[in-house]
Every structure is written in C-alpha cells, then in structure tokens.
Amino acid sequence: MTPRFSRRSLPLAALLLAALPVSAQEADTLYFSAIPDDDETRLQERFGKVADYLEEALGVPVAYVPVKDYAASVTAFRNDQIQLAWFGGLSGVQARRMVPGSRAIAQGSEDESFVTYFIAHADTGLTEPEDGGFPEGLEGRSFTFGAQGSTSGRLMPEYHLREITGEAPRAFFSDVGFSGDHGQTLRLVASGAYDLGALNYSVYEQALTEDALETETAGVIWRTPPYPDYNWTIRGDVDARWGEGFADRVQAALIELDDAEILASFPRSAFIEADDALYAPIERTARELDLID
C-alpha cells in the first residue's frame, strides 16, 4: 500500500528542495503549484483540496507548493521543484519552452474562450458602451494591470490597448501599475487608487456572486475578444518516474474531477482535454510584445 503523505500545502521554503539531488528528495511525491493569481488564503484552500483529490485518484503522494509570483511558478517547473502546474496561457507557454517534452494536458471548459474585463472606478463616470465597443475617455487616466506575467491581467489587455489606441500603455495613460494579482487589481480600482484596471473576468464574476463591496465602486466598462488561457501543464519526464502512462493518468484524473466545490473554487464548470497547439495565439502575441524570444 502506498504510504500516505501529508496533503497539506507545503511552505514556500519547500522550494529549497531543488538544491538537493533528486535521490535526496521524496522522489515518489508529485509536487504541483499554480500561478498566484488570487488571494493566498483562497489558493491554499483550493489547491489543498486538489492535492487530496489527485493523491486519491493517482495512488501517489501529492503536495501543493505555493510560490510568490508568476515567474517563480515557471522557475519551479523548469528546476523540477514541481512536476505539474496550473498556469495561465503565457506562463504555460514559457514553462513548456523551458522544459522539453512538457505539455498542456487540460484546461477549464471556460478557458477555450477566456476574456479580460476592463474596470473603472465609479467616480470616473465611465460605463460600458451598449454596442460593446471600446469606451472613450480612458486616455490620461491611471491604470493598473495585474501581474507582469499574467495572460488575462497583462498580455491580452496590453495587446488590445496597443491595437486600439496605437500607443503603448505608458504613453496612453497618466500612470501604469502592476497590482500583482487579479483580486488586488479589483481592490485598487474599487478604492480609487487607480482609475482603471484589467483583470480576469472570472475573478470579477466571483466577486459579484459573493456580493463583494468592491463591485459597488468598480464596474465593467469593456470586455476583450476571447482567447485561450489557463491550463494544467505537466513535465515530460513524469512517466520515467511514476511509470508509463502516468501523464495520461494525471490528465484523466483532472478531466474526471467532478467535485462541485473544487470546480467552483477555480471557478470552472469542468476540466477538458487540452494540448499545446491551443496556445499558439498566446505565443504569437507574446512574441509581438517582446515578452518571449
């Protein structure tokens, strides 16, 4: 019988395991992480439950390792500190480029056609045009993206801003910031620290569902065209470590996950099969913005 391993998320210090040879680590434990796109408490709760589910489904110890930012998640994947990750579109592309043989194996059903919301503080007087067009009156105001490596919080909103305005964000807005995560973007705009911001639509919709106070002073003024986004990516060497077909077993376990509470915490209605080709548009956009070589 496979020995049970603590399924609670590991502290950030666990990443120091990378300094040890694999033989000195607990090689039979599958470590995974996720881009820190929301409040840390929410992430710990969500991915602790995912660890429990995967450990039961796969029959191997599984542990969630929190990371401090988007770049750290990619670095941990490259350094084999984690073997599986819930990435955004851009961070997934970056990670797979660094680790030959790695591949996207699943995405949320909503990730086929993801969108970014542009939000504005109520005092700006800006509202969403009825025809869905890009609103007027944004130039010269303050604006915050999410994390610098975020697909929905930076890559796609910056791409569309450049396409529509013909200018770089720092030339178009009076001040440009990076909040670090989507929840913080909502809080900064709601507080008036920034006039405008761009964030993952699902974070805003979740805030509406929870009747969060921030939605009273920060409203949606524009929605980007859809694009592919979040994905589960796995390293190419997992079959050699856990047996032939292990990557496929992880993929199947994710796709078969039907726990309503876990899915709602993402929030996603289901996970579906994915592959690298789906994220080619993200890679092309990142090249255009010189975010990858």
Residues 39-59: tens digit of each pLDDT: 788 889 999 999 999 999 999
Tens digit of each residue's pLDDT (9 = 90 or more) over 68-80: 999 999 999 999 9
Residues in a beta bridge with 34: 86
List strands edge to edge, sheet with 142-145. 175-178, 142-145, 196-200, 116-121, 218-223
pTM above 0.85, yes or no: no
d(C-alpha 212, C-alpha 41), whole Å: 16
Nearest to 151 by CA among 236, 76, 87: 87
- Answer whether 22's CB lies under 8 Å from 46's CB: no
* Total count of residues recorded for the chain: 293
pLDDT for 189-231, tens place per residue?
999 999 999 999 999 999 999 999 999 999 999 999 999 999 9
pLDDT at 37 over 90: no
CATH number for 12-111+229-288 (one of 3.40.50.970, 3.30.2420.10, 3.40.50.300, 3.40.190.10): it is: 3.40.190.10
pLDDT-wise least confident of 17-21, 138-142, 288-292: 17-21
**Mean of pLDDT over the chain:** 90
Closest CA to 89 of 230, 225, 203, 201: 230
Whether pLDDT at 273 is above 60: yes
pLDDT at 2 over 50: no
Region 175-202 average pLDDT: 97
Which token pair is 108?
A: 């949320």
- Terminal alpha carbon distance of the chain: 47
Fill in the amino acid letter for 34. A
Q: Which CATH architecture has domain 115-223?
A: 3-Layer(aba) Sandwich (3.40)
Mean pLDDT of 99-115: 95
108 strand-pairing partners? 271
Find tokens 């050699």 and name the residue.
240
Q: What is the largest CA-CA distance in the chain?
A: 64
**In this predicted structure, what is the pLDDT of residue 121?**
98
- Domain 12-111+229-288 and domain 115-223 have a common topology: yes
Domain range list for the chain? 12-111+229-288, 115-223
